[in-house]
Amino acid sequence: MLISSLYDTDAGPWKNRIAGLLSFMREHGDRRLTHRGCKVLAGLTPSQLALPGTSLLVATVRGQQGRQLAGVSFVSDYGKTACLVAVHPLYRNRRTGTSLMSAQLERLGRLECCVAADNIPSLKMCFNAGLAAVSLTIGPTGKATLLLRSLPGSVSHPISPQEGESLCQSPF
pLDDT digits (tens, 9 = 90+) for 118-163: 999 999 999 999 999 999 999 888 999 999 999 887 655 455 554 4
Residues with Cβ < 8 Å from 15, sequence gap 6 or more? none
The β-bridge partners of 135 are: 147
pLDDT mean over 31-35: 91
Q: How many Å apart are CA 104 and CA 49, to the nearest integer?
A: 13
Reply yes or no on whether the pLDDT at 2 is more than 50: yes
pLDDT at 165: 46
Mean pLDDT (the chain, rounded): 89
Residue ranges covered by each domain of the chain = 2-157
**Confidence class for position 166, pLDDT limits 50, 70, 90:** very low
* Dihedral angle computed from the Cα positions of residues 122, 126, 128 and 132, in that order, rounded to the nearest 10 degrees: -130
pLDDT digits (tens, 9 = 90+) for 69-125: 999 999 999 999 999 999 999 999 999 999 999 999 999 999 999 999 999 999 999
| Domain 2-157: assigned CATH number | 3.40.630.30
- Show the CA angle centred on residue 75, arms to residues 108 and 15, nearest 5°: 125
Contact 138, 102 (CB under 8 A): no
Q: How many Å apart are CA 9 and CA 45, to the nearest integer?
A: 9
